[in-house]
Amino acid sequence: MDVERLIGWNFRRLRMLQNLSQEEMALRLGSVDQAYISQLESGGRNPTGRTIYRLARVLGVNPGELFSLDGAPNDIVGDPDVVETSVSVHGKRKR
């Protein structure tokens, strides 16, 4: 399971359910720009616990919703017992 992509997929899904643009979301968060939101949604960011809490709060959901497997594509979920990351460290994929 690619955790960053799962968070990004859920974040985008929840944002779109509320008809919020990436720009509006960035404004509501206050300390990020639209590019950060785009990178987050594509799995290119590894948000901290604090950021996950802030994202959930702005969306009005429990932070656990950002980790929901319900409806997530198989290429993101894969084997839920194997946690992977799409964010590289020194050019190598972490696992």
Q: Is residue 46 part of a domain?
A: yes
For 11-56, what is each residue's pLDDT tens digit? 999 999 999 999 999 999 998 999 999 999 999 999 999 999 999 9
Q: Judge contact between 65 and 12, C-beta under 8 A.
A: no
Q: Is residue 47 part of a domain?
A: yes
Q: Is residue 63 part of a domain?
A: yes
Q: Which two tokens stand for residue 79?
A: 């084997």
Q: Is residue 41 part of a domain?
A: yes
Output the pTM of the full model. Answer: 0.83
Q: How many domains does the chain have?
A: 1
Q: Is residue 91 part of a domain?
A: no
- Can you give the CATH number for the domain in which 29 is found? 1.10.260.40
What domain range includes position 10? 3-72
Helix (H, G, I), strand (E, B) or coil at 88: strand
